[in-house]
Amino acid sequence: MSSWFAFDNGRSIGKISTEGGVILRDEEHTKRVRITLKRGSGYISVSCNIYGRMDHTRFFGTVSEAQREYILMKSSLGNMIENVLSAAPKDIQVWEAISQFVRRFP
């Protein structure tokens, strides 16, 4: 069974994000992580949010490039969540894992 599910039961797809982009993909993990693909006027982005710990957004030139990276980032986030984020909030391993993720997906 996957720990990822459609954010807000899929109702966010097609809606306008707070930044003004149309939400194309939007998923949440059971361990309080969200990944969202948006297309706005002049930008395409993938945003990752580890609730209370990280908010990271990347920008792309095409939707297909963003889709490809969305899949890679989602997989990496899932592995990180399952293996590291169960640590205490101040545990250095958590912050090292987040730093590695941001370096891998600048």
The pTM of this model reads 0.92
Q: What is the domain range of residue 53?
A: 4-104
Q: How far is CA 6 from CA 73, 74, 91, in A?
A: 16, 13, 29
Domain count across the chain: 1
CA atoms within 13 A on the CB side of 2: 9
State residue 1's pLDDT score.
Answer: 63
Residue 89 has pLDDT above 80, yes or no: no
Closest of 84, 81, 85 to residue 2, by C-alpha: 81
For residue 36, list its beta bridge partners: 26, 47
For 96-106, what is the mean pLDDT? 94
